[in-house]
Amino acid sequence: MSGVPLLAGALFALGGAAAERLAAVWPADEASRRGVGWRTAALGAGAGLAGGAIVWRSTLEPWATAVILLLLGLLVVLTATDLEQRRLPHLVLDPLIGVAALFAVVNPSVSLVDAGVGAALAVAFLGGVGLLVRGGVARGDLYLVAPLGLLLGWTGVIGAIFVAALLAALTSVVLLASRRVGMQSYIPFGPFLVIGTVVTLVRDPVLLGEVLTTAAGLR
């Protein structure tokens, strides 16, 4: 089984690099069409680590792990487009929401009630932040956080948003200190939400089935 996480990591590394290349040309109206660069390598490496880590940690049934990897693949594409063009296309967002909603009905780690509360809580929280901080939350982030809440449940999505906010704040400080951005510059929050989701999935003892498997073994 040790080779399976490596294989998943390699496939997601290729997929992450391909997603970054896709974002350079699509959506076409704001495509930069720039060449391969450090962002290609970074997104490939990040996607590879995420895919490999999820497979390595998961003790869920193979079909459930496969659904989570499908969701991760869509999140990687959205990360690439948000970094490149500051947008989260509905052509990818809508399937993400649909798959997450269907998975919430059969998710062995998160009850349907917890999933629904997680989605509602996440949207309400980010929506509230958006009302308090003008320009602080883009509309696409509200669409993005809903399926994340469905996947993680309410306790998991709170942790994911916290990680995302912490990483976004640290990144903003570094970019400001290096004068790469100004006080009025927009830094996309979607990629940080995706990172927070992956960190939560890998660290949480329930979401990928560890506690469920242990409990089943004790019965």
pLDDT of 170-189, one tens digit each?
Answer: 998 898 888 777 666 778 99
How would you class 113 by CB atoms within 10 Å of its CB: exposed for 0-12, middle for 13-18, buried for 19 or more? exposed
Query: Of the candidates 208, 199, 218, which has an alpha carbon nearest to the alpha carbon of residue 59?
Result: 208
Contact 190, 79 (CB under 8 A): yes
Contact 147, 96 (CB under 8 A): yes
pLDDT for res 211: 61
Structure tokens at 34: 């720039």
Report d(CA 13, CA 111) in Å as an integer.
Answer: 31
Q: Where are the beta strands (DSSP E) in 149-197?
A: none
| Residue 205 DSSP class | T
Contact 187, 133 (CB under 8 A): no
Residue 217 has pLDDT above 60, yes or no: no
Condensed to tens digits (0 to 9), the pLDDT of residues 98-136 reads 999 999 999 999 999 999 999 999 999 999 988 887 766
Query: Of the candidates 18, 20, 140, which has an alpha carbon nearest to the alpha carbon of residue 88?
Result: 140
pLDDT for res 22: 95
Report d(CA 141, CA 58) in Å as an integer.
Answer: 27
Report d(CA 43, CA 12) in Å as an integer.
Answer: 10
pLDDT for res 214: 43
pTM: 0.92
Number of Cβ within a 10 Å radius of residue 167: 17
pLDDT band (50, 70, 90) for residue 215: very low
